Structure 1
Amino acid sequence: MLRLLSRPAVRLVERYLPDPYIFVLLLTLVASAAAIGVERQTPLAVIRYWGDGFWGLLEFSMQMLLVLITGFMLANTPPVQRLLDRLAAQAGTAPRAIVLVTLISMAASWINWGFGLVVGALFAKELARQVRVDYRLLVASAYSGFIVWHGGLAGSIPLTIATDGHFTAERIGVIGTGSTIFSVFNLVLVMVLFIVVPLVNRMMLPPEEESIHVDPKVLKTTQRERQHISRPAERLENSRALAWLVGIPGLLFLVDHFVLRGGGLNLNIVNFLFLFLAIVLHRTPRRLLNSLQEAIQGGAGIVIQFPFYAGIMAIMVESGLAETFAQSFASLANADTLPFWSFISAGIINLFVPSGGGQWAVQAPVMLPAAETLGADIPRVAMAVAWGDAWTNLLQPFWALPVLAIAGLKAKDIMGFCLIQLIVTGIIISAALTFL
C-alpha cells in the first residue's frame, strides 16, 4: 500500500516542487504578504525587517557549509573509505540497504543533527556504489533519519530550558533533560520511530523496473595522482610531518574537550572533529586540498539560500506573524490537547523559521502562559514544539541542502518519499504527545 501511495506522491513532488532557491523566494513573498495582510504592517516596515535580518544567519551558514565540506573531506580519506566499504558490504540487497541507511542516519542524528546529516548522506553514496537500489529512495531514507534529532542529545529546545539563566527561566525555572529528552514518553516515541521509519522506507521501495539507479563510477571520489615533486613548495604540500604537526594537536584538543573538561557535541565541535580527522587521515596537505576542491562544488545552495531564510525569519518574528500563528493554535487547546496544537503550530512555523532555537524564541512566550493557564505539562509542551520543528523538516528543503549537495540530487528527487514519512510520523508523534 505504501509503495502505491508513494508513486503519486513522488510524481506530484517531481512535477510541482521547485528548486529550493525558487522555494525560498516564494516563501519570502508569502511571509511578506502575510505580514502586510494579517499583521497590518506597511510594505516599508516589512522590507526593513527583511533587509535588517537578511544577514542574521551568517555564522550558521558558515557552520553548515563546513558541515558539508569537512564531512566530505573526512569521507574521502582512505581509512574512512575502507570503513564505509565494509559497512555497505553488509547490506547486500536493496531492502537491507534502505533499512541500514535509515538506522545509521537515525542513530547519528540522535547523537547530533549535523553529524547525522553528513553521515547519512555519505553512507547512502557508498551503499549506492555497492548495491543496486533506487538512489532517490536511498538518499530520502538517509534524510528521513533526521526526524529524531530534536528528541536526541543535541535537541536545542530541551537543552535550552535545561541551561541556567535561559530566557524563560523566571517563568518555568530550569527543566532537566530527565523531564524532556530522557522522559518516558520521549524515549518511547524515539524507539517507535526507530522501528517505523525504516519499515516505511523499506515498504516504499519501487519495483526494479521503476527504480532509478546511478552509475557507481559517477559517485566514486578519486584522489589525483601524486605529481613529481621538484620545488620546495611542493615538498611542503606533500609533507606528512606538516599535516600531523597541526592535525595531532587538534585531536588532542578534542581529547581535552571530551575527557578532561566533560564537554559535549555541538556544531562547532563536530566540524572541528571532521576537519582535524581529515587533516590527519589524508596524510598530506595536497591530498586534503584536492578533496576540498571536490567538496566545495556542492555548497552553492547553502551560500545563496540561507540569507533569504534569515530574512524570512526576521519578517515572521518582527512583524508578530509567528506569534499570531502560535496564539491561534493555542486558543483551540485544553490541558490535554495543548501539546498536540503546539506540535502542529511548530510544524507550520518551521516552514518559515527553520531553526529550533528560533522556534522556541517565537513560541515560548505564547505556549508557556497557555500551559500555565490550562494546567498543561510544560516539559511536554516544550517537547511538542521541538518535535514540530523536526517534523516538517521532511518537507522543508532548508536542512536537506547539505544532504542533496553530497548526494548530487535535487529536492524534488527525494521529497515525494519524505512526504509519505511526513504523514506517517505526524500521526505517530501526535498520538504520543496526546496519549502517552
Structure 2
Amino acid sequence: MLRVLSRPATRLMESWLPDAFIFVLVLTLLAAIAALTTQDVTPIALIAIWGDGFWSLLQFAMQMLLVLVTGFILASSPPVRKILQWIAGLATSRGSAIILVSLVSLAASWINWGFGPVVGAIFAKELARQIRVDYRLLVAAAYSGFVIWHGGLSGSIPLTIATEGHFTADQIGVLPTSETIFAPWNLVIVIAVVIVVPLVNRLMLPLESEQVLVDPAKLDDNVAPPPVSPYATPAERLENSPILMWLIGIPGLIWLATYFAGGGGINLNVVNFLFLFLGIVCHGTPRSLLMALDDAVRGGAGIVIQFPFYAGIMAIMTDTGLAASLSGWFVSISTADSLPFWSFISAGIVNIFVPSGGGQWAVQAPVMLPAAESLGADVAHVVMGVAWGDAWTNLLQPFWALPMLGIAGLKPRDIMGFCVVQLLITGVVIGGLLYLM
C-alpha cells in the first residue's frame, strides 16, 4: 500500500515542487500576504521588518555551510571511507540497505542534529556504490531520520528550559531533561519513531523495474592525489607532507579531549571542530584535504543564497505577531488533555515558516505556557509537543535538507514525495502518542 501511495506522491512532487530557491520565495510571499491580511501592519512596515531581519542568520548560515564542508571532508578521508564501506557491506539487499541507512540516520540525529543529515547523506552515497537501490529513496530515508532530533540529546527547546536563567524561568522554573528528553513517555515516542521510520521507508521501496538508479562512478567525490614527483618543488612537497597536518590536527584533538573531559557539551561549533580536525588527521596531507574541499563546496550554494530569505520570513512571522496569532488560535480550541497535541500541530505549521527550534520556542512560549497554566495542562508535555512539531514538518521543509542534498547531489523534489508519506504516518504516530499520554 505504501509503495502504491508513494508513486503519486513522488510524481506530484517531481512535477510541482520547485527548486528550493523558488520554494523560499513563495514562502516569503505567503508569509507577507498572511501578515498583511491578519495583522495590524502596513506594507511599508512589513518591508522594513523583512529587510531588517534578512541578515540575522549569517552566523548560523556559515555554521551550516561548515557542517556540510567539514562533514564531507571527514567522510571522504581514506580511513573513514573504509569504515563506511564496511558498515555498508552489512546490507545484503535493497530492503536491508534502506533499513540500515534509516537506522544510522536516526541514531546520528538523536545524538546531535548536526550529525544526522550529513552522516546520513554520506552513508547513503556509500550504500549506493555497493547496492543497486533507488537512490531517491535511499537519500530520503537518510533525511527522514532527522525527524527524531528534537526528542534527542541536542533538542534545543528541552535543553533551553533545563538551563538556569532561561527566558521563561520565572513562569515554569527549570525543567530537567528527566522530565522531557528522558521522560518515559518521550522515550516511548522515540522508540515508536525508531520502529516506524525504517519500516515505512522499507515499504515504500519501488519495484526493481521502477527504480531510479545512479551510476556509482558519479558518486566518486575525491580522486587520490597523484604521487609526488622526484622533481617536485619545495611548495609541492609541503602540500603532500603529513607533518603540518599532524602539527595542527593533534593539538585540535587534544583540545577536544580536554573540552569533553571538562564537561563540555555538543553544539554546532563543537561538531564542526570535531569534523574538521578529525578530517585533517585522517586525510594526512594538505593536498588530499584540499581536493576534498573542492568537491564539498560545490554543494553549498543553496545554503549561501537561501538562508537569508528564511531569516526574512522568520522576521515577518515573529515581529508582526503572525506566529503568535497562529499559535493562539490552536490554544483557543484546546483542553488540558489536548493542548500537547495542538501544540504539536501548531508548531508543525509554524516550523514551515520559522525553521529554527530555538527561534520557534521564543515565538510560541509566550502563548503556550500561559495556556498550559490556565488549562492545567502538563508543561513538560506541552513543551515537547512544540519540540516534536518543530522536528516533524522538517520532512516537508527543505531548509534542513539543503546540506545533505548538496552532498547527495539531489534536489528537494527528488526526495519529497517519499518524505510526504513519512510526514503523514509519523504525524499520526507522534501526535497520537502525545494525545494519549
TM-score by length of 2: 0.99
* Cα deviation code 1:123-167 (max 9, x no counterpart): 000000000100000000000000000000000000000000000
Q: After alignment, is 59-68 or 35-44 more displaced?
A: 35-44
Between the aligned partners of 1:248 and 1:36, the Cα distance in structure 2 is: 55
Residue 43 (structure 1) aligns with: 43
Give the aligned residue type for 1:410. Answer: K
Give the aligned residue type for 2:9. Answer: A
Between the aligned partners of 2:107 and 2:151, the Cα distance in structure 1 is: 12
Between the aligned partners of 1:68 and 1:314, the Cα distance in structure 2 is: 25
How far residue 405 of structure 1 moved from its aligned partner, in angstroms, is 0.5
Between the aligned partners of 1:100 and 1:406, the Cα distance in structure 2 is: 19
Residue 80 (structure 1) aligns with: 80
How far residue 223 of structure 1 moved from its aligned partner, in angstroms, is 2.5
Between the aligned partners of 2:150 and 2:227, the Cα distance in structure 1 is: 44
2:133 is the counterpart of 1:99: no
3-state SS of paired residue (1:113):
coil
Matches within 5 A, 1:356-435: 356-435=357-436
How far residue 235 of structure 1 moved from its aligned partner, in angstroms, is 2.3
Residue 200 (structure 1) aligns with: 200
Between the aligned partners of 1:78 and 1:239, the Cα distance in structure 2 is: 16
CA contact 1:179–1:379 (8 Å) conserved in 2: yes
Residue 349 (structure 1) aligns with: 350
Residue 4 (structure 1) aligns with: 4
CA contact 1:98–1:201 (8 Å) conserved in 2: yes
How far residue 226 of structure 1 moved from its aligned partner, in angstroms, is 3.4
How far residue 265 of structure 1 moved from its aligned partner, in angstroms, is 1.1
How far residue 320 of structure 1 moved from its aligned partner, in angstroms, is 0.5
2:356 is the counterpart of 1:323: no
Between the aligned partners of 1:4 and 1:362, the Cα distance in structure 2 is: 39
Residue 56 (structure 2) aligns with: 56
Q: Which of 247, 253, 256 is residue 255 of structure 2 equivalent to?
A: 253
Between the aligned partners of 1:22 and 1:227, the Cα distance in structure 2 is: 46
* Cα deviation code 1:204-230 (max 9, x no counterpart): 000001010000010012233235262
2:187 is the counterpart of 1:187: yes
CA contact 1:223–1:291 (8 Å) conserved in 2: no
Between the aligned partners of 2:228 and 2:63, the Cα distance in structure 1 is: 33
Residue 26 (structure 1) aligns with: 26
Give the aligned residue type for 2:267. Answer: N
* Cα deviation code 1:62-92 (max 9, x no counterpart): 0100000001010110000100111111102
Between the aligned partners of 2:396 and 2:374, the Cα distance in structure 1 is: 33
Give the aligned residue type for 1:335. Answer: A
* Cα deviation code 1:363-391 (max 9, x no counterpart): 00000000000000001100000000000
Give the aligned residue type for 1:234. Answer: E
Between the aligned partners of 2:228 and 2:15, the Cα distance in structure 1 is: 47
Give the aligned residue type for 1:134. Answer: D
CA contact 1:28–1:308 (8 Å) conserved in 2: yes
RMSD between superposed Cα atoms in Å = 0.8
Residue 135 (structure 2) aligns with: 135
CA contact 2:225–2:287 (8 Å) conserved in 1: no
3-state SS of paired residue (1:366):
helix
How far residue 413 of structure 1 moved from its aligned partner, in angstroms, is 0.5
How far residue 40 of structure 1 moved from its aligned partner, in angstroms, is 2.8
How far residue 264 of structure 1 moved from its aligned partner, in angstroms, is 1.5
Residue 231 (structure 1) aligns with: 233
Matches within 5 A, 1:247-326: 247-259=249-261, 261-326=262-327
CA contact 1:135–1:213 (8 Å) conserved in 2: yes
How far residue 120 of structure 1 moved from its aligned partner, in angstroms, is 0.4
Give the aligned residue type for 2:116. Answer: G
TM-score by length of 1: 0.99
Number of residues of Structure 1 aligned to a counterpart in Structure 2: 435
Between the aligned partners of 1:387 and 1:70, the Cα distance in structure 2 is: 28
Q: Structure 1 runs of 4+ off > 3 angstroms? A: none
Give the aligned residue type for 2:71. Answer: G
Identity %: 66
Give the aligned residue type for 2:420. Answer: L
Point out where structure 2 has 5 or more consecutive residues left out of the alignment. Answer: none
Give the aligned residue type for 1:386. Answer: A
3-state SS of paired residue (1:351):
helix
3-state SS of paired residue (2:182):
coil
* Cα deviation code 1:327-353 (max 9, x no counterpart): 011000010000011100000000000
Residue 145 (structure 2) aligns with: 145
CA contact 2:228–2:237 (8 Å) conserved in 1: no
Give the aligned residue type for 2:245. Answer: A
* Cα deviation code 1:287-314 (max 9, x no counterpart): 1111101110000000000000000000
CA contact 1:333–1:341 (8 Å) conserved in 2: yes
Between the aligned partners of 2:228 and 2:245, the Cα distance in structure 1 is: 18
Give the aligned residue type for 2:120. Answer: G
Point out where structure 1 has 5 or more consecutive residues left out of the alignment. Answer: none
3-state SS of paired residue (1:202):
helix
